[in-house]
Chain A
Amino acid sequence: MTQKILAAHAGLDSVKAGQLIMADLDLVLGNDVTSPVAINEFNKAGFDSIFDKEKVTMVMDHFAPNKDIKAAGQCKQCRDFCGKYDITNFFDVGDMGIEHALLPEKGLVAPGDCVIGADSHTCTYGALGAFSTGIGSTDMCAGMAKGKTWFKVPSAIKFNIVGKLPKFSAAKDVILHIIGMIGVDGALYKSMEFSGEGLVNLSMEDRLCMANMAIEAGAKNGIFAVDSVTLDYIKDKVNRDYKIFEADEDAEYDAEYTIDLSTIKPTVAFPHLPENTKTFDEIGDVVIDQVVIGSCTNGRIEDLRCAAEILNGKHIAKNVRCIVIPATQKVYMQAMKEGLLETFINAGCAVSTPTCGPCLGGHMGILAKGERAVATTNRNFVGRMGHPESEVYLASPYVAAASAVAGKIAQPSEI
């Protein structure tokens, strides 16, 4: 599927794994951390135009609302650049959200698109049947100027999804299970392709969560077959032509796995790698200091509903801080209308405006030496959320909310 999208964007009938191609881009993305480096390079290289003002987007989400004077300077540099080149899709505080939750919501990515973003979780849009991958600032710069970039065509691993998730198991548990199974370099340089009869049981938000973490297995991209769930999601969001690509019946894969959703249990990735996964039969008492519910992985409305289902009528444990971060303004508004924010605040949680903030140890919930957090985010590397001797445990919104109530890592069914 990935190979077909890349061939179409390179003007070729077909491509093979390992082939180097030059591909046209449908969208080039940057944020307030990566764009300033790209803008510096853009100016140094002497470029004086961008390839398409509709197809370059910058989202101020990492250290925004500005966490300090330097971060303010970086956002200002992006704002000035987008103003100068009249970039349509510049998202600043007030209408921004976490980039990978925001762009699908705004209809900026469609099936069959070829997207690069100077953020590793750009692979999220594979949920919509697009080829989408993270790159660095130099590639972002060249992409903004020329609307093209080079790729080495990846080979693919197929995940055949069957069955249906049990109560309190979530898409996050599925992707953590897969990363635990194949390892953090299990899909290095490759495409992870998700298809099968069970796909219909995964909502678009589930798919966005799973594609989001393809990078945590080292993958170049994660991609889902397009079906009625995809078309329902984009019908009132995408107002342009797009093309649906399907994998051939006889497509070649480096490996194939069948994932039976009905066997997936709540899963937690222990420090300091997303592959260090455990299910609750292997988890003892792990006392925690903080819970973060949000991020480009799990900050969407269904995630907040799951957390609220657990927290409703309860209070978080003494000595635990729980920070809830709706991923976009639209999610925030919807959560407010549904009374979820009230549930969170009554339970003793802090509710924040959208930001990547604590996920990457930027601001809004940094950990002290020796502290532990359960987070619905995507990385638990050394120092990821603060002090190098703090610890992050990755989990679903159900597990995160249950852990906040219990004061230790807990199963939703225990609460």
Chain B
Amino acid sequence: MPNIREVAQKAGVSVATVSRVLNHPERVSPNTKELIEKVMKEMDFSPNVFARSLNLKKSNTLALIIPDILNPQYMEIARGVERVAHEKGYNLLLCNTEKDLKKEQNYIRMLIEKKIDGIILAFTLLQQEDFDEIQRRNIPLILFGQNILKKNISSVYSDFKEGAFLAVNHLIQRGFRRIAYVCGEKDQLENRDKTLGYVDALLGSGLNICEDLMIEGSDDIDSGYLAALKLLKLNPLPDAVFVGNDLMAIGIIDALKNEGKRIPEDISVIGYDNIRMASLIEPKLTSVSWPVYKMGLISARILIDEVEKPDEEVETQNIFLSPKLKIRKSCGHENRVSEIFDLK
């Protein structure tokens, strides 16, 4: 029986093109596909399925590890990753760590046993020895989210310090001086980054940092609600609050409304993530947006590239996407045109 090289030669195309017809026919133009299939038929060529699976040595499965399956922001990552994985013919395993390092390490062990083709780690808590272990197994890895760059590991990340700075600076520009901060769990690196941005923005404008105004929540709606009740006990009340994520901001808005406060007249609220719900609640929530779905797409694209390319051709890529303010009514209305165009 002829081999793939002879087929390529007869069809006047490269071996890679014949291989694409066999493995990813959707990526070959109809004319070429037809020609190659005709040549295969003429030469009585059929791909050796057993040899192929040996050759590919792949499970055709990728894994995405996320901290919290209930947070719609993380599900947007999954939506992006899944879309590309499916289009490229890969299965996707979704692992929910609940921000627990042990659980994350267990997942890694399980994935290594399953001979996973590649892993995307979103907001990981893993330690250096865990990374070493994965790299020893030569499993392609993408770091998603935080600004932690590691040698030889590609990443797709945003800057949460910059995002928080944008948010708090926006409040200062609006004339607010007593700005509270409800932060997410401090174990998470991105939450520590947001705190740095909050502090930088205040100090940069000559304002003081006041411990009373900083309350820790746990990134969910309920903790936002409880944080708002604490804020309302302060005297004087804060005139604005920067919230580490939109879920907590939704809880805060609910609590403030229940306690008879008007937003933004009595107190302004700004969130982080720009989840879909932010534009649906009343008042519509001003938030910091970062292109999480797109980052999911890019992560999967880079990962699959690394899985499919020979090791020596793989180049580490660090793709950065900046956060942007999405201005809505919850901090008072500014000019409408800034909602339509990105203004610098």
Partners in one complex: no
Residues of A within 8 A of B (CB): none
